[in-house]
Homo-oligomer: A and B are copies of this chain.
Amino acid sequence: MSTSRPEVIRVMVVDDHAIVRRGLLAYMATIPTFHMIGEAANGEQAIALLNEWRTLGQPLPHVVLMDLQMPGMGGIAATEVITRTHPDVKVVALTSFGEVERVHSALAADAAGYLLKDADPDEVAMAIRAAVTGGMHLNPTIARQLTRRMTAPPAGLTSLTAREREILILIAEGKSNRDIAGQLTISERTARTHVSNVLAKLQLSSRTQAALLAIREGLVPPS
C-alpha cells in the first residue's frame, strides 16, 4: 500500500444545513477512528478554513464531506479548488437524491466519493475510509446510474444537431408538434421525428422534461 493509513482520520464537513452538520458531528463522535476537526456552511468558508489551517501549520483534514447543493459557491466548484490547492485532502461528495446528474461534475472535480444523504451512516464511514486509502466509494444506486450513463451516448446539448436544438427551443416555448411543424414549415411527422430524437439523445421521457432542461441549460430565457 503506498498510502499510509493514519490511526486517526480527521474529517471536515461542509454543508449549509446545520442539522446535517450536527448529525455528522454526532456520528463521528461515536467512532474513535474519526475526528471531526471543523465544519463550514459553504464553499468559501471551507476554503478559507483550510487555508487558515495551512498557514498556521495546523493539520489539515484527511477527508472533507462536501454537500453539493449550497448557496453561494457550489460544492463542485469548492471541490475543484480544494483538490487543486490541497492535493492531499480527499473530498467526498454528499448529496441529496435527485441531483444524480452532478456525479460527473463531482468526479471531474476529483471527488473521492459520492454519497447520497439518505445513506446509512455506516456507508458514510465506508466512503471515508475508502477515500483515505486512495479508493473511491460510490453509492450503489449512483454507480448503477453512472454505468448506465457511461455505456449510453453522452447526454448533453452538444450532441444535438442544429435542427434539433431549434426543435428543443420551440418545445421550451410550449409549442405542440403541429405548432413546430407550422413554424418550421415541415410536416408534423418530421417534427415528431425530431422531438423523438431529441428525447432519445437527452435521455428524457417527455417534452416537458426537455423544456425544463432547455431552461436549466439557458437555451431559452425563462421569462
Residues of A within 8 A of B (CB): 16-27, 41, 71, 96-97, 117-121, 124, 171-174, 176, 204-209, 211-212, 215-216, 222-223
In the bound complex, CA of A24 to CA of B97 (Å): 20
Q: Shortest CB–CB separation between residue A76 and chain B, in angstroms?
A: 13
Assess the B121–A174 pair: CB atoms within 8 A.
no
Q: A212 CB to closest chain B CB, in angstroms?
A: 5
User: Which listed residue (B18, B118, B208, B211) contacts A120, Cβ 8 A?
Assistant: B18
Bound-state CA distance A212–B25 (Å) is: 38
Q: How far apart are the CA atoms of A209 and B202 in the complex, in Å?
A: 20
Contact A222 B215 (CB under 8 A): yes
Min C-beta distance of A159 to chain B, whole Å: 19
Task: Using CB atoms, name the residue of chain B closest to A23.
Answer: B23
- A70 closest partner in B (C-beta): B118
B117 and A20 contact, CB distance less than 8 A: yes
A25 partner residues in chain B, CB cutoff 8 A: 23, 26
Closest B residue by C-beta to A22: B23
29 sample A-B contacts, Cβ–Cβ < 8 Å, listed by A number: A17-B96, A17-B117, A17-B118, A18-B119, A18-B121, A19-B23, A19-B24, A19-B117, A19-B119, A19-B124, A20-B117, A21-B23, A22-B23, A22-B24, A22-B26, A22-B27, A22-B121, A23-B24, A26-B27, A71-B97, A96-B96, A174-B209, A174-B212, A176-B206, A207-B208, A208-B211, A211-B212, A212-B215, A216-B223
Number of copies: 2
Residues of B within 8 A of A171 (CB): 208
Who on chain B is nearest to A98 by CB?
B69
Chain B CB within 10 Å, residue with most, of A208, A211, A223: A208
Residues of B within 8 A of A18 (CB): 118-121
Quote the shortest CB–CB distance from A145 to chain B (angstroms): 15
